[in-house]
Amino acid sequence: MKSRSIAAAALTLAAAAALLWAYGFTLNDLLVGAVLSVWVLLVVFKLSRWVASKTNKYIARKFIHFTTGGLVTLLIYATFLLGDPIFSSPAVPVAAALALGLLTLIPHLEDSELGWFQVRNNFGEVWFCYTWALLYLLFWYVDITIPTVATFFMAYGDGVTGVVRNYVYRRWTKGFWGSVAMLLVSAPFGAWAAGLGGLASALIATAVEKLPWIDDNLTVPLVSAAALLLLRPM
């Protein structure tokens, strides 16, 4: 293992330990986190490989978005709405997201990408994990709707954009119909969860997703979260 991979692993371990110490956790948090982690690993290392064999690596990437980070986003929000959050603090889900970020980063650092969904020099799936972790860490105790909507846009809005573009344009590109698909998915959820601010943030997210010079797994969630924070009712 290269020194960069060892350093990344050490930093991730230290960050996870600090999170668990600072925010605390329960046995239930660990059990739920373990179950979800097993599911995520199954998706990343088994199910997505099958999807890639039936379609292509681009669809497999989006399948991972839908069924890992996106799914956990919905589970967290649903249990918050029901008054019984699935996690007692952000420590376990954020630590798990950092760990998954490490698992997807190391193949890039080792020049041994996971060929059924990773692309050399494209760190999109790594940014997905880290932005997901950052938003839940920042906003868990501020307003859980903010990371929910922002990561929903990243997982499902941007995800369905990619699927539509793959089948309409038959290549990895950004186009009009992909943006339409993103807005059709993002706007209703944003409006339902966060009202007019959520609707506006869906429009903003769809616009920034088109930017060609920066990864949309950074722009979509971070810009959306900033918009939601600024536009939420006082």
Can you give the pLDDT of all 234 residues of the chain as single tens digits? Answer: 678 999 999 999 999 999 999 999 999 999 999 999 999 999 999 999 999 999 999 899 999 999 999 999 999 999 999 999 999 999 999 999 999 999 999 999 999 999 999 998 899 999 999 999 999 999 999 999 999 999 999 999 998 988 888 888 776 667 788 889 999 999 999 999 999 999 999 999 999 988 878 899 999 999 999 999 999 876
| Rounded-to-integer distance, Cα 203 and Cα 153, Å | 10
Bridge partner residues of 119 (DSSP): 122
Domain that holds residue 183: 143-234
Residue 228 to residue 143: CA distance in whole angstroms = 10
Of 126, 141, 156, which marks where a domain is finished? 141
Instruction: Look up residue 178 and give its two tokens.
Output: 């992909």
Closest CA to 72 of 28, 33, 127: 33
Residues near 36 by Cβ (< 8 Å), separated by ≥ 6?
72, 75, 93, 96
Within this chain, do residues 127 and 210 fall inside the same structural domain, yes or no?
no
The candidate with the shortest Cα–Cα distance to 209, out of 145, 160, 140, is: 160
Whether 5 and 110 have beta carbons less than 8 Å apart is answered as yes
CA-based nearest residue to 44, from 99, 3, 90: 99
The count of structural domains within the chain is: 2
Judge if 180 and 130 occupy the same domain. Answer: no
106 plus 27 within the same structural domain: yes
